[in-house]
Amino acid sequence: MRYIERIILAIVALLTITAVTAQGEGFNLIVVGDPQPQTEEQIMRLENEIVPQIKVIVDEYVASGYPTAILLTGDVVWDTMEFLPRVKGIFEELGVPVYAVIGNHDHDREVTYNESLAESHYIATFGSKNYSLKLGNTHFFALDNISFNSYDDYSINVDKEQLRWLKKEIKATPRTSRIAIMMHAPATDFRTGELMRYARRITRLAARRELHFITGHRHRHATADITSSIIEHSVAQVNGNLWFAPICADGTPQGVFCIEERDNEWQWHHRTLQNDTPQTIVAYPAGSVNEYENSVVIKVIDWDSKWSIKWSENGITKGDMEQIEIIDPDYIQYVEQEADYNDVIMERLRRSARPANHYFRCRPTSQNSHITITATDRFGRCHTVVVE
C-alpha cells in the first residue's frame, strides 16, 4: 500500500513540476506615458497619487509569476533636471526594474546647440540612451529619436550611429524573436498615419519580424496597425493633460498601458487608474453629445482597427455602430465647467482639444429603448454596456 502511495505522490509531484514548467515564457510591462512633473506639487502628486495606484497593478502582475517591469516613455520630467533622480527613485520603490527613454523635456533647456551637454543630466541618472533587454521572447531596444538643438528647436529622427548599433543588435537576435523599439516621439505621422522616414529605416533592419514601436510624446492613446506585422503603440500621458486635467485631451483617462506576453503571444490594454475595474467603454445617453443629440454615443478607450462594435435595441440586433470623430465630451466638460486656472493654462487646455476617432454612435428608434452595446477587441475580449 505504501508503495502505491509513493507512486501516487511521485505522479502528483511530476504533474506539479510539469504544470509549473508549462507556464512558459512571458512578461508584464507597465508603460507609463510622459510623467513630466514640473513643480514640487506635481512631483508630490506623482509620488502620492499616481504611483500608489500603479503599485496595485505591479502587485497583481508580480503575483502572476511572470517577470514585471516598468517603462517610462520619455519626458520623465518637464525641464526640471533636478527631478530626474527623484522620479527614478519614486518608480524604483515599486520593486521592479524601471527602464526609460529620453524625451525632449529631459534635455536641459538652458543648453543650446550642445546636445551632449543638454542630455548629460538624463544620462547621469538613467545611463546610456541606447540599450537592449530581453523579456520573454521579445527583444527591446531603446533609441533616442529627439535631435536636440534647443528647447524650441528639435526634430524627430534617429541618427546613423544609432542605426548602425541597432542593425548589429538585431542581427544578433534569433530570427524567431519579436522586436520592440522604445522611443519617446512617434514613429508615424499623425496627419497621414504613415511611417516617418527614420522609422522606415528601422523597419528594414527588422525585416520579416514582428515589430512594435512603443512611444509617447503625443499624450494620446492609440494603437496603429501599420502593416500586418508592424504596430505602433502610442501611450497617453499617465497624469491626464499636463497635470492640469484628470483626462487626456483625446479622452483617455489617467492610466498606464499594459503589455502582457504569454507563450510568445502579446496582449495589451489601457489600464485606467482611480478605478477598481479596468474601464474600456464610456457611454453617453441620447441628448448628451451636442453634435449627435438623438444618438447614443460611446467612447472605446482601447479601440483600434481590429475591434468590432455592435449594438442591439430591445433585444433586436442592429449591427455595427457608426464610427465618428468628436472632441471628448468629458474633457470639454472638465475644461469648461470644472477647471480653474490662469488664462495661459486655460488656453493651453482648450488648444489641446482635437477630435479623436475612438467614438461610435447609434440612433435608437425610441427614447425608452433598451440599448446593449458589445465591443470585442482583437484578442476576443468582450466588453458590454447597457444604456437605458
Model pLDDT for residues 143-202, shown as the tens digit of each residue: 999 999 999 999 999 999 999 999 999 999 999 999 999 999 999 987 788 899 999 999
Angle at 146 between CA 213 and CA 254, to 5 degrees: 60
Question: pLDDT-based confidence at 17, cuts 50/70/90?
Answer: very low
pLDDT band at 275 (very low <50, low <70, confident <90, very high): low
Contact call for residues 286 and 293 (beta carbons, < 8 A): yes
Q: DSSP label at 60?
A: H
CA distance 75 to 335: 24
Cell 509569476 maps to which residue? 65
Query: Is pLDDT of 214 > 50?
Result: yes
Q: Domain 23-272 maps to which CATH number in 3.20.20.450, 3.30.1330.10, 3.30.428.10, 3.60.21.10?
A: 3.60.21.10
Domain-wise residue ranges, the chain: 23-272, 281-387
Is the pLDDT at 1 greater than 50? The verdict is: no
Least confident of 138-142, 271-275, 291-295: 271-275
Q: Taking a C-beta distance cutoff of 8 angstroms, is the pair 30, 258 a contact?
A: yes
Residue 268 CA to residue 256 CA, distance in Å, equals 11
| Residue 348: pLDDT over 60 | yes
pTM of this prediction? 0.91
**In whole numbers, what is the pLDDT of the chain averaged over residues?**
92
**Distance from C-alpha of 92 to C-alpha of 329, rounded to nearest angstrom:** 36
Instruction: Report d(CA 184, CA 98) in Å as an integer.
Output: 15
Region class of 30: left (phi > 0), else alpha (psi between -120 and 50), else beta: beta
Percent of the chain with pLDDT over 70: 93
